[in-house]
Each structure stands twice: as structure tokens, then as C-alpha cells.
Chains A and B, each alone.
Chain A
């Protein structure tokens, strides 16, 4: 790599694999607004297919070539190679780009003129006479800033160097090249202040993102996601593991994360948890002189295999038989248990997991027709989960074009994407069943009632093979997979059109109209076979069907005015936004016996209307001031509380622009930032009318009998007429620097976010409303911390380079208020429900402590180091039954990490590249619910006549009965995870033609170092139960550019 600054890396990455004629990387488009040739614009109505055929034709054109020219392009500034510079035979479409060594080869006609161009550099033209090797050095174009990384800030973009708020940008080159099925996964370990955890290992599983700890206690803590200027609905959709799964990560150009309120305030009411702006790729723009562009085709594909990384340790068949014998002989277990034992040795976990293949293919076309650049991308993904039958199959098509009209005064950015997704969720119940099912039983026992699969029958049934199934027994894990079909088909269409119009008569005034439409539809069914032994338990769930349609329509209109007045520069934006969210669907349950389905339909909508304005003021190019105001109206609140005002101010000082400091080889850039702002939250979950008194009718099955008639009932719903916005006030101070000839760049931020009027679902005085809990504005919380991000290039040689990225996040969370009336005796709100019994909680929300702090009895240990069953520290000193008194519980630790460190490294040596990324999480605590619930001797035999395997963890405690609140189960789950390691080989020609590409080998979830004794220390909210294990994935990938 040549330049450690962002734009060059981005350009290099993009263009080293393409061979454009006058086409530059997509980021170039932003820089050169006038590049687009003024040309007539005729768009065919069925443009997609027409264009496709035209493109294929153009692509097949062959040019007569006579002379092969080779050469190298370097920077005149620092003599480094320029990778991905464009080399073009003037007046033709014949051209290429330089490779990783800055070299190129091109066949041209004798006497041709070569045009060499590169972003941020002046173009160079060379007349070909008889040279065969050219050494070309390009001079820096002082009119263009070289290090412009443009970042989206909502309703506009700024140069990264001019950003005043806390903004992190990740571009395509930073993305790991693993099996990434969702854009959210691209964030894992990449950005300071951002925690992204995958929720288990299922194919297409979701990712939970928290920016600076999350601002809400019980409200939504998901950041707002904006895709191509369309803010998405935060709630998910039924039948799709993750709403972002529908986007193809391959189509993403960059992700920008807005963290402090000054940056997010422009999104007002939905921005309290930060904003993630996703920008998808656009066609690369034409160089000035070009009429016809060469068709560029990029193919990338991969094949990978996922294997279970770790399984829970349970007793084998033989071990289990001796365990039962021992319990009967020495611990008073009824002999009935021995009589139920079988003779087999079945490893149930092995039976339900598999090594699963994943394959992905992406084909991208970049082209222009009639000077209208477009990009078409086709994607196909088939991902297999390690749980048998779990698959996701996704087909993507995305199309974008960027025509220009009216002499360039009107530019359009039109995009359309479609995704078709088929999910097979398999049956996750099999995971627990596989842990618990008696290992001495065979998979099939010859019965005829349950399809042959061994099933526990009622003890009263004389027929052990075909008797009435035992409802409360564990069910055969293999049958669980075999006899349930849980699938869904989803479609998503995302349409966007952005029109920028330079208003005539007024210079520098631009109007933008942004239209967006997001449509989802899911159809799902969940069917249990009549042979399933477990379906008797919940007959209403035997045949489940659901469908859901969601739409999100957006209209933004805003004006932008730029004014340069001596040393003062103003950039003013003001506008209006209208968004409508609509959600409709139904759930239907049928049992085999009673064929009439119970259908529950639903339908709802809400509106958001906003006015916003932003002023960027720059004095002397070094003092930057941003003032933002947004006024948001939400249909979720009553007229009195409907509007919320979210102001923000940020100031930045570019010290290196001060004459007395100046730029030097050591200090390339230094910027200080301070900001203050407010953002809000209006997402009250599934409640669309929380302030309106409403009545809900009951659905079938919830009728009441009067005489001989069953009447549906009408229920008044609880409501809070005074519900209003949750507000987060944030202050932030930061520092951005680039030093040592741009070899080290970094950022440091310190912040404090205060959330007030938290939307909190709290117990209310009974009798005052139509429930015992109500969502209301009460409570305050504080998040404070700091973040450091560092990018270092320790080695930068012509064929050897090393880049290293480190980021560190520290966050401290504290609840400062929970009740309307300050009451020191308030014992907080229980949370953290666990598996085992019902209503058992191990965490609390309580004033003065971090959210979800663990609240447990303090375990007492024996001299052998083992915990003594049921013996805890008598905190209250009242004696007696310590476990019977809540006052004896202690506040322990929080499930959130204190420090989170992300590390990524990339080494290039000649044609090879080697990269890895990993994470260190420190101080995150996990309650091992798997052990607390399933490592107990009592569970080996149930009175109703079935045996259950237990975890071998039981040897650590020898507990007979459940001790859910023992601090023994709370573990420090700090970890280091090597998420990804990859080795690649890059080539510039394949079989003699100028197809370039890369072949790579990579491993995901390479290893985890932790003291945590459970399956995986990466656990959502700190309670480890029933998690689909994250697989380890081995992948072979290839990309080709023609």
C-alpha cells in the first residue's frame, strides 16, 4: 500500500481490481461533481433489462491492438506507487489500472496518447512513440484535498477532516472478508465505542449493536440505521432472523457511525442510540472526455465450511449408566430410574450438528450508457447452519444509476434493490433436547407411533414404545429436527431516488428531494408433524402460519446554501422530512384435531414529521462550528407532547491550520472537537397509540361463556396520556490526529451521555390504570467513557507493508433515577429472567448501579474448594434460612465489559496479503445458566418416568437441587477472540489476459481465550442459556475482474 490515508486506501482497494477506462473509484464521484458529461439523458422505461442487454453488447466489443506498453505510476510527491491509477488510450475505451505494485500493461495503437489519472493528482498525458516501459510520476493536485474521506452526516456529507462531531467511518477496505451475511457483522471489532455481538451461530442470526452503551433501560437501544438516505424501521420482521440480512454486504461502500449528539441530532428523535449510515455502491463516474465506458465485470465468490466450535460437556451413555447406578446405590434415587435406562451410547449433540457448507456468488457490472453510469449487482448466498436443516438462501439484485440533466443542474441518484430470502430455521429446541436427552437411549427404538424415534411415554402407559407420550419429558432431538418444518420466505424491495437541483439565479443554492420506499413481506409457516411426541403439549402450535408486510415511505426535502464571504464560509441546510411506517399481518394457529385456524390479524402505523436545519460555519479554514436543530413530531404522542426539539452545537479547531503550529512531517494534522447536544427516542416498541384510551377485542380461544354463547371480550388498555420523548443529552470532547508522515492516525474521544425521562415500563400504583405496569417517562441513566482509535502503518515498503488498527472503548453505565418519588428504600426492578422455573430473575435495575447488575447470594465454599449447597453468606445477620431472605443478596457485577479492544492487522507482501482481526473484552460477567439449570443431580430422573442427561459441570458443585441465585454461577467472562484470519494471493493477469483478481483462504471464529467455563463468553445481556453455538468457518474465496 502506498498511502496511509483513507481515500487512497479506498481507491486502491477498489481500483486495483478493476480495469477502467477513465473510470475511477466510486469515492471519486463525490469529489468531482462536474465530471459527468453534459449529455442528453434518455431513460428507457424498462431500463433494467434494456440496459442489461446493451451492456452485454458493449462488453463484447473487441479493439484492434498492436503494441504492448508496460509501465509504472508513482507519486511525484513521495515516490510511492499509485495503485489503481487509470491508464487510458485517449479517445478510446481501451484502458487499464495499475496493480498493487503501481504497474500496468496495455496494448495500444502506435502513436496513441495515454491518459494517466488518479484521484487527488493532476492528469498526465504521454505520447507513445517507441517506448515499451513508461515511468510516470503524477503531481499532487493542490485544488483537491488528497485526504478527503467524505462522510455522510445526514442530509449531506462533509469531509472527514471537517467533521465536528464524533464520527467513525468504515469503508469497504476495512471489512473482513469472511462469511458475512449481514451488514451489521461488518462492524464487529472495527469501531471504537461500538459493541456488536452476533446473537448466536444460526445461519442469518442477528447482531446486536450498542453505541456507547445504549441510552435506554427498557426502551429500544438499537441505533438508527440509515441506508442510502432512508432511515429504516428499527423493529424486526417476523420470519427473518435479522432485518438487515436482506442487504448484501458486498454492495456496501461505507458505513459511518455517528456517536455524539452533535452528530446525531440531525436525526432527532430516533438518534439517542447513535446512527449508522450505510451507503451502497454506485457506478463509477466517467472521466470528462469519455463517451463510452468499458464494461467492467467483477465476480467474487466463496465457499466455506462451518463446524461447531465447542459443544456442552455431558455424560456419555456408559458414564450415565454408572452415574444412575451410583445415585441409586448411594443417594436414595428410586430404583425406578435404573429400569428406564437403555443400552445405547448416543452422542445426541453429534447427531444434530453438522459441518455445513456455505457458498456465495456476486457478480457486478459497472458501465455507462449514454453517459449515464450505472451499476448492477447480482448476489446469491446459500448458508448452512451447523444445526441440521438450518439454512438461509438469499438472492439479491441491486441497481443504481446516476444520471445528470439540465446541463448538470439536476443530478439524480436512483437505486433499486430486491432481495428474496428463504429461511429454514430448523428447530432450535433440538439444541437443549440434545443436551438433556438420555444418552443410553437409541435414536430409534422401533415404535410405530413416533416415526420410530425413541420417545418417553407416560409411566402409566403399559406400552413403553407406543404409549401416551410424556408431556414434560425431553423429546428426541433427532425427531425434533425431523418432525418440525419452520420456514419462511421473505422479500424486500428498497427503492430510493434522490434529486439534487442547483437552483438557477441563485448561486450555490441547491434543493434536494429524497424519496424512499422500503417494502418487506414475509410468509412463514411452522408445522409440526403428526408423529411428533411433543406436539401434544401445545396442540395450538401444531400448525402455525404467519405473514407480515411492512412499509416505510419517506419524503425529505431540503435546501442547501453555501456562502463564502472572505475568510468566512457558511454551509446552511434546512429541510423537512416526512416518514410513514406501516405494519400489517396475521398469525394463525391450528391444531390437527380442530381444523379451524385461530387467526389473529393486526395492522398499525405511525408517522414522523420533522423540520431540521444545520449551519456549518468555518472561519479561516481552521475554526469550525456546527449548529443543528431538529424539531420532530411523532404520532405516538398526544398533541401536547408531540413535538420535541433537539438542538446541538459542536466546535472544532484544526490546530495544524494555525500558522504558528503548522503542518510538519511529524505533525500532519491535529484537530480538537467539543460538542453538546440532545437527541431523543420515541420508539415505544409495539405500542402505536400509547396515549390514546383504546379497547382491544379478544381473539378466538379467549371468549367467555354466558348461557350457551361464547362472547369475545373487550378490554380497556392501559395508557399514558402524558407520554413523551426520552431525551439524551450528550457532551463529547475529542481529538483527531495524524502524525509521522501520516504513518499514524488516531482519534480520542471522551463523553458523557445523560438519559432523562426514560421510557420505562414500571410498576404503577394498582387501581390507577388498566394494568400493573405502564410505559411511562421515569428515570435517568448515565453513560460515560472514552474511546481511542489508532491506525498505524509500521512498515511501508514498495512490496511490503503492514497496517495495524487498534481501538479501545471504555464505558461506565449508571442508573441515577428510577422512580417518580426519590425513595432510597426502593428495591429496584427485577430483570434478567433465567431458564429454570418461571419468574426467576438474577439481575436488577437499581439506582446507583449499572443497568442489569447481577443480584445474587454470596456462595460459601467448603475446605475442598467446592461450593456448599444452599449455604450463603448471611448478609442481614438475621440467621435462619439465608436463601429465604432477599436482604441477603449482594450486588455483584455488570454483564457489560469495562473495556473493549479491537485489533486488526493487514500485511501485504508482494502478491500476498495476510490479515486478521480480533477483540478483547474485559470485565464482562456472565451468569452460567446452562450450569445452574442443567448441572444438578436431581434432574437425572423425573417422577413421571424419564431420565435426563446433565452437564459434567455438576462435578464442580455436586449440587443436588437448583441453586439459581448462587454467586458460584457468575463468572468473569473476559475474553480474547480471534474473529478472523485470512491469507490472499493477488494476481493481475490470469491465463495471459488482463483479468485480475484475488484468491483467499480464511478462518472465522479462529479461537477464543477465556477463563469462562461455559460454551462461549460472548453472551447477550450476560445470561448464558440455550445459545446456538457459533461455528468455526473455513473459507476459500475468489474474486475476478474483467
Chain B
């Protein structure tokens, strides 16, 4: 009897301990920085923070300041896996505007136009594009769940947030259609999990972006009415205009008239040319009336070794002036074929290291005692010509707001009015209706007058040719992340009519294959997603 009592007791106690403890396996995060999806949006303020992540996705690549610790994407160093850094690299390093000296993986393949589908940088940008799209979808889903029960200013906020999220998703899809062509396609309907996103062709994706932007046109805040760095209607118009201008490349069908419609909306949106060209690229460019949509950086609050910090440091070295940074990394510079567009020659630097051509947009550095004009070794930073366009001081040379010697406070001017003027001229010249050649010339001259400081650089109607526009875009917009798209649209990215130093991995440059107008689908995704098809040629 005693035996049985004892065993019963043991059994009961055991049963109690075991069952209560098994419940411990249901955990909730206890980390102060981690919250569950179920709880996080109980706080209304969380929506704006989640929206901030969508914007921040273009500027920094993780959740820890200074680029250390909590990266969004993997397979690449966190400071390399930065959206702007890779976007800039793919748009600029592959062209005549920039060349890089470093040994990082296959980075030199861009200028040589020899990249392969397993390229780590191509993969990084592709991953960042779709990362941004995926978190935008998540945001839109979360807003949709809440929007029915919201009211008042909160409801108005949610509506604006959602429109902005759709804009940012469209922006990333535009990068996808421009660089990778036929890509995976996911919207807020596709919940996260393990599935194979379906493939979308370039023309289908074009229609989707067009439809999205048109749908949100009136949901977005009116031009210049939103908080700084948030997208407004002007940004959506500008993106639509970009899309239409390149429609021939994306779909085979010209849409120049549509382009003009939206360029006109942008131009009449209240933006004005900045009196100071330099301010557009300085630490006070957040005050510029010309910028339509920036990627915002801050020395104290938005820090990373990618982004603007990368752009300024990587392009500095060899005795170049520092303009607010603490030293250069000696990587990126430009080549003789590019400075020739400003009629700048080696002899101009006989008595100076910073020769200013009459077109003051040309901001170059060359030290004849230690630099070499012609690039005989791509790996040597001082072969080529330094570029001093971006600065971590204000346009007057004063210390940047929230200055930091390493992390740069200047914002990246993604969309600006100057570009809209050039797009206007191009759309008119390419036969779009809704504009005039005369106005186009005026717009171009407005830019050139600012560049020369007087009318000496003004052009006549007869000067306005497509080739002139391509060169003028280079002069006005160099290093702003447009060059590859422009060269492709003008048919000069790969073909032999225009070659530059080291294009095709040849000193004097050679023609490359036309299939390289489009980047390949990265091998990682091609392997992971059976729905995808590699772009031709790769």
C-alpha cells in the first residue's frame, strides 16, 4: 500500500513539473529591440518607423549605426550590401564616368563590361531591390489590415504612408526593369514564406509600374508639401516621366508624349533651379529648391560605410582636398574620355591641381607630379583624373550639419529639376508632343548659364541634337547614377560608335556585346527560383 502511495505521489509530482515546464517552450522575444508581428503595430507610432525603414533601405543596409552588426541582406559585407552604393556602382562604374582601382571580388568587371551572373555586386543590388519591394509589400499589408479601423489624422497618415510605400516599391521595380529586365514579381498579396515568386516580363512590369504610379498620383501629398526626404506627387511624376522616356528600351514602344506630360507636371510643380550648382552635392543640399527626391544621410544619425560615405571616401586620395572627410580610400576616379566632354586636357593642370574649366560643373583634380593622365594600370588610383563633385562641407565651405569626419551628411540627389529640363529637351527632340524646341533650348540654357556663370555657354536651336543632349546629360548629371541608363537609351553603352578607355578590358576601349545592355539575373536567384529565365547572352 505504502509502495503504491509513494509511486502515485511521484507520478503526480512529475506530471505537474513536466506539463508546466513544457509550456515554457512557447517563447516570446524578450529583446528590447525585437518585437513580434502580432504586437508591434499595436503602437500607432510603429507605422511611421516601419515606413522609415523603407526609405532607409536605400541609404543604409542594416539596423545598427556605423555599419556593424545587423545587416538586411547577406552574401556580401554589410557596407557593400548598400542600395545606393551598388546602384551607383552598376550605373556609373560600367560607363565612361567612373573607374575603380580596388581588388574587391569582381568589381573591375564593371568598367571592363565582363561581369558574370555570379557577380557578387550584381547580386547585392538585385537582392536589395527585391528586399525593398518585399518589405514594402509587408508594410502595405499591415496598413491594409489597420486602415479599416483607423480614423482622423491617423487614417490620413496611413493613407499617405501607403501611397509612399507603393511609390518606393515602384521605384525599386523601376531599377529592376532598367537593369535586370525580366524579374521576379511579388506584391502585397504574396505573403512571406517559402515559395517561388512568378516571373514578369519587361513589358508587363512596365505596365505594372505605370499603373501603380498613376493610381497613387493623387494619394500622395502635393509637390513640396511633404516632410523633407519623403516622397510626394512630384517624385511620382518624375518617376513616370523616367519610365516613359525609357519605354522604347523596356517595351519596344516609344512613349515620349506621355513622358512630356509628366515632365511638364514636374516642371510646374514649384521646384526651381538652385542658384548654386555646388549646393546640390554639398552637405546643405537638403535646403536646395531643386531636389525633388533625395536619399537622406546624416553624419550623426544615418551612418554607414556604404552610401554617401562610400562615394566621398572612395573617390578621394592621391593628395585630393578632403572637403570635410577624414581621408580618402583611393578607389574611384574618372577617365580622359569623360573630362574631354568639358574640353579639359592634361596641360590644363600644368600649374594647378584643380583646374576649373569655363563650364564650372567640371570639378576635377590632377596632380602632374604624382598622377598619370592615361590609365595603364586600372588598379592604380592615381592613373586617371580625380572628381571633387560631392562634398561633406556646405556649399560655402562651412562645416556640415551634424558633421562627422567619417560619415557624410550630404544627401544623394536622386531626382532633381535639372534632370527634368534635360528630359524635356530629349523628349521633345525625340518627337514627343506637349513641348517645344524653343522651350527646350531655354531649359538647356538655364542649366548652362548656371554652369558658366554667364551666357557664354548658351546654345542655339541648331545645337540641340541627341548627341548634344547625351553629352550635356553627362556634364550636368555625372556621378549621379544616370549614366548607364542614358548610354543604353542612346544606344552607346555597348556598341562600337562610342568606346572609352578600358571599355571591354582594352586600354583604348572596344565594342562589347549588345546583350550587356541588360545585366544578368544573378545565378543565386536563378538557382533558387525555377520560374526565372536568364537574360539572353549570359
A contacts, CB < 8 Å to B: 334, 336, 458-460, 468-472, 503, 505-506, 511, 536-540, 557, 576, 578, 580, 589, 593-594, 598, 600-607, 609, 611, 633-635, 639, 642, 688-689, 692-708, 710-722, 761-773, 776, 819, 821, 823, 825-827, 830, 836-840, 881, 884-886, 938, 942-945, 961-962, 964
Contacts and interface: CB of A to CB of B under 8 A. Distances in A.
B397 interface: no
Contacts of A837: 102-105, 107
A689 B37 CA distance: 12
B66 A540 contact: yes
A823 B527 contact: yes
15 contacts: A334-B370, A460-B320, A538-B66, A600-B69, A601-B31, A605-B30, A702-B63, A705-B296, A706-B230, A711-B49, A711-B52, A713-B53, A713-B56, A715-B53, A942-B330
Contacts of A964: 103
Interface in B345-383: 369-370, 377, 379-382
Contacts of B302: 701-705, 710
B103 A602 contact: no
Contact of B29 (A604, A702, A771, A830): A604
B50 A714 contact: yes
B197 A944 contact: no
Interface string B1-16: 0110010001000100
Contact of B75 (A763, A768, A819): A763
B63 A772 contact: no
A696 B326 contact: no
Interface in B375-401: 377, 379-382
A606 B2 CA distance: 40
A856 to B, nearest CB: 15
A460 B370 CA distance: 11
Kindly list the 5 A-B residue pairs having the minimum CB-CB distance in the complex, ordered from nearest.
A701-B65, A471-B327, A707-B227, A766-B130, A765-B529
B53 A602 contact: no
A503 B10 CA distance: 11
A836 B103 contact: yes
Contacts of A839: 76-77, 80, 104-105, 120-121
A715 B123 CA distance: 21
B53 A772 contact: no
Nearest to A591: B404
A722 B65 contact: no
Contact of A943 (B195, B370, B528): B370
A604 B49 contact: no
B27 A772 contact: no
A697 B35 CA distance: 8
Contacts of A773: 73-75
Contacts of B196: 765, 768
A971 B186 CA distance: 47
Interface of B: 2-3, 6, 10, 14, 17-18, 21-22, 24-38, 40, 46, 48-50, 52-53, 55-56, 59-60, 62-66, 68-70, 72-77, 80, 102-105, 107, 109, 112, 114, 116, 118, 120-121, 123, 126-127, 130-131, 133-135, 138, 184-186, 190, 192-197, 227-230, 296, 298, 300-304, 317-322, 326-330, 369-370, 377, 379-382, 404-406, 505, 523-525, 527-530
Nearest to B114: A884
Contact of B194 (A693, A706, A764): A764
Contacts of B131: 766, 770-772
A605 B27 contact: yes
Contacts of A700: 65, 301
A635 to B, nearest CB: 4
A944 B317 contact: yes
Binding site secondary structure of chain B:
loop
A182 to B, nearest CB: 28
B319 A471 contact: no
Given A823-B527, A837-B102, A840-B103, A538 B406 contact: yes
Contact of B193 (A537, A539, A762, A768): A768
A351 B296 CA distance: 46
Most chain B CB atoms below 10 A, which of A505, A634, A825, A944? A944
A458 B328 CA distance: 9
B63 A603 contact: no
Contacts of A886: 116, 118
A688 B50 contact: no
Nearest to B3: A505
A611 B22 CA distance: 11
Contacts of A336: 369-370
Given A698-B62, A767-B184, 13 more contacts: A598-B65, A692-B28, A713-B50, A713-B53, A718-B192, A763-B75, A769-B194, A771-B131, A772-B127, A772-B525, A884-B116, A885-B116, A944-B328
Contact of B197 (A468, A598, A765, A962): A765
A183 B397 CA distance: 61
A965 to B, nearest CB: 11
Contact of A694 (B35, B120, B184): B35
B330 A943 contact: yes
Nearest to B228: A707
B63 A696 contact: yes
Given A703-B301, A765-B197, A765-B529, A609 B21 contact: yes
Contacts of B24: 578, 580, 607, 609, 635
A767 B528 CA distance: 11
Most chain A CB atoms below 10 A, which of B26, B65, B326, B327? B327
Nearest to A576: B18
Contacts of A884: 109, 112, 114, 116, 505
A688 B27 contact: yes
Contact of B184 (A458, A765, A827): A765
Nearest to B118: A886
Contacts of A769: 134, 192-194
Most chain A CB atoms below 10 A, which of B17, B64, B138? B64
A468 B134 contact: no
Nearest to B403: A593
Nearest to A604: B31
A697 B33 contact: yes
Contacts of B135: 715-716, 770
Contacts of A604: 29-31
A943 B382 contact: yes
B193 A695 contact: no
A458 B327 contact: yes
B194 A603 contact: no
A707 B112 CA distance: 41
Most chain B CB atoms below 10 A, which of A470, A703, A715, A767? A767
A772 B74 contact: yes
Contacts of B109: 884
Nearest to B186: A767
B27 A635 contact: yes
B327 A766 contact: no
A336 B36 CA distance: 59
Contact of A607 (B27, B49, B75, B326): B27
B134 A770 contact: yes
A720 B195 CA distance: 11
A539 B404 contact: yes
Nearest to B370: A336
B342 to A, nearest CB: 23
A835 to B, nearest CB: 11
B130 A712 contact: no
Given A459-B318, A598-B66, A767-B134, A710 B298 contact: yes
Contacts of B524: 763, 772
B301 to A, nearest CB: 4
Contacts of B127: 766, 772
Contacts of B76: 838-839
Contacts of B194: 720, 722, 764, 768-769, 776
Nearest to B532: A765
B50 A701 contact: no
A24 B228 CA distance: 81
Given A695-B35, A701-B303, A609 B53 contact: no
